[in-house]
Amino acid sequence: MNQFNVWRTVFIVGAALGFGLCVILLTSQEPGVAVHAFFVGPFSNTYFFGNLLASAIPLVLTGVAACVSFSASVLNLGLEGQVYLGSFLGVFLAWRFETFPPVVLYPFIFSIVFCCSGLLAALSGYLKIKRNVNTLISSLLISYIAIYLVDALIETVFIDPNAGMAATPYFSDRFLFAKLLPPSDLHAGLFLALIFTFSLYLVMKKSVFGFEIALTGKNPTFARYTGISVSKILMLSMFLSGGFAGMAGMIDIFGIHGRMIRGFSNGYGWNGIAVALIARNQPLWAIPSALFFAYLENAANVGALLSDITPEIARTIQATIFFTVTAETLFSFVRKKKGGGAWKPSSTASSR
């Protein structure tokens, strides 16, 4: 991310926080207490700070998931469904192989979740290549199919009748990630998220494959003329994007919940898109971007606990940021399409 983009992003974030401050001042009966609770509360003790970091873990992974597909100029809007599928598969495998030791089961579950969630996303890429179906539409529709299918399984076949809500039974405590800052929700999945993010950064910035993704995203026509298989890049970028999204859901389940709960994700996929937009599709920048979004969510919750503000303030600030960054990104995308940079399937590309 160049210096101009950094300052532009800082300005957008600062303006959104300023807007949130104005909302607090206008709506709170005790603005001083509310402002302190909102801006300082998440750092005031171990519990609040640990929960902030725990909230950022899935956002980091869904953020880098969006970074991969967006870098190839492919709009993967199915992250929420991929998160859901990965979570459910992780829980199912933890039940099915509960006698296995964690050191053996973890790599197996990671591999299955990554591949299945990646294939769900790659299906949109396949439809784009073979039938020229818009990936934005297909990924969104396939995502909803996955969400409703998993919800149906949770509410019927796998429901825990004693849960009091739509949730599955717990899997063995042996497979839960270790807590880092008890009594907060922060868990060892933080290290996995950082490892996956840095690994993706190395792939994107230091490998031939990463160069091909970047070139395809900037100008697919030129990439095709240089001998790059644009179709392959499309499929692989969607596969990686879906895989990271699935890992985000699985890690959150194994770190906090211990079972599958309907609606647990709370918009991880959609927030991951916003994280990627603020990070300008740079994997490492997804870390501070995710921390910022997690801070907004936790600041609103702490503020609601310690003062008279409502959690909807965080949604308002997030929506302001999302609208501003998305509008700017959309204008850039339209300009690139007018310049001939849009991805188009071709017989030449498909044959490579």
CATH code, domain carrying 84: 1.10.3470
CA distance linking residue 294 with residue 24, whole number of Å: 19
Query: How confident is the model over 112-141, as a mean pLDDT?
Result: 96
Structure tokens at 116: 């299945």
Binned at pLDDT 50, 70 and 90, residue 60 comes out as very high
Statement: residue 319 has pLDDT above 60: yes
Structure tokens at 13: 């974030």
CA distance linking residue 173 with residue 65, whole number of Å: 28
Model pLDDT, residue 337: 56
Model pLDDT, residue 8: 76
**What would the pLDDT profile of 272-312 be if each residue is shown by its tens digit?**
998 998 898 999 999 999 999 999 889 888 988 998 888 77
Domain assignment present for residue 247? The answer is yes
Closest-CA residue to 219 (of 339, 90, 313): 339
Number of domains in the chain: 1
Closest-CA residue to 54 (of 295, 309, 320): 295
**Contact residues for 154 (Cβ-Cβ < 8 A; gap 6+):** 88, 166, 167, 168, 260, 261, 262
- For residues 147-172, b (16+ Cβ closer than 10 Å) or e, as one string? beebbebbeeebbbeeeeebbbebbe
- For residues 17-53, b (16+ Cβ closer than 10 Å) or e, as one string? beebbebbeeebeebeebbebbbebbeeeeebbbbbb
CA distance linking residue 162 with residue 142, whole number of Å: 31
Domain assignment present for residue 246? The answer is yes
Statement: residue 348 has pLDDT above 90: no
Domain assignment present for residue 12? The answer is no
Provide the mean pLDDT of the chain. Answer: 90
Count of C-beta atoms within a 10 Å radius of residue 331: 10
Radius of gyration (C-alpha) of the chain in whole angstroms: 21
CA 255 to chain centre: 16
For residue 120, give Cα distances in angstroms to 92, 137, 244: 17, 14, 12
Model pLDDT, residue 186: 98
Statement: residue 1 has pLDDT above 70: no
Residue-range definition of the domain harbouring residue 152: 57-286+323-351
Domain assignment present for residue 333? The answer is yes
**Contact residues for 208 (Cβ-Cβ < 8 A; gap 6+):** none
φ, ψ at 296 (rounded to 5°):
-60, -45
Domain assignment present for residue 338? The answer is yes
**What would the pLDDT profile of 211-230 be if each residue is shown by its tens digit?**
999 999 999 999 999 999 99
Domain assignment present for residue 108? The answer is yes
Domain assignment present for residue 23? The answer is no
Model pLDDT, residue 349: 40
Domain assignment present for residue 18? The answer is no
Sign of CA dihedral 129, 132, 134, 139: negative
**What would the pLDDT profile of 330-345 be if each residue is shown by its tens digit?**
666 566 556 555 555 5
**What would the pLDDT profile of 82-99 be if each residue is shown by its tens digit?**
999 999 999 999 999 999
Query: How confident is the model over 182-190, as a mean pLDDT?
Result: 96
Statement: residue 121 has pLDDT above 80: yes
CA distance linking residue 317 with residue 97, whole number of Å: 43
pTM of the entire structure?
A: 0.91
